[in-house]
Amino acid sequence: MWQELRLGQLKGCQFRRQHPIGPYILDFYCSTARLAIEIDGASHSSDVQAKHDEKRDHWLRDKGIRVVRVAAVDVLRDENLESLLNHIALMAAPSTAFGGPPPPLRGGGT
């Protein structure tokens, strides 16, 4: 996944890996689209982890960041990767219906 995201090859969006924001570290983050990509392994299926993920996603949404959760198994399957990247590209693309991604937070925070 990182090889596809790292060079801005996905609709020109520049993603960062292991990006810290608040109390969390995001797997991948595009600041211009305010989009986080989270890769979820098997541990994310437990009730405890699911509650933690829900709390984390809520916190990020409150900060104007959209979260796309992807099962790790989908990243590892070559036949799924292209479809997955197309979905991420659509999420990262500026929306003409709503005037683009959310504005940056006041005070210069991301």
Domain boundaries, the chain: 2-95
Higher pLDDT, 26 or 50: 26
Q: Are 87 and 35 in contact (CB under 8 A)?
A: no
- Asked which of 36-45, 63-72, 98-107 is least confident by mean pLDDT, the reply is 98-107
Q: Under CATH, to which class is 2-95 assigned?
A: alpha beta
Mean pLDDT of the region 83-108: 68
DSSP category for residue 42: G
Q: How much is the pLDDT for 10? A: 73
pTM: 0.75
CA dihedral sign, ordered 58, 60, 65, 68: negative
Could you identify the residue written with the tokens 């990247």? 85
With cut-offs at 50, 70 and 90, classify the pLDDT of residue 45: low
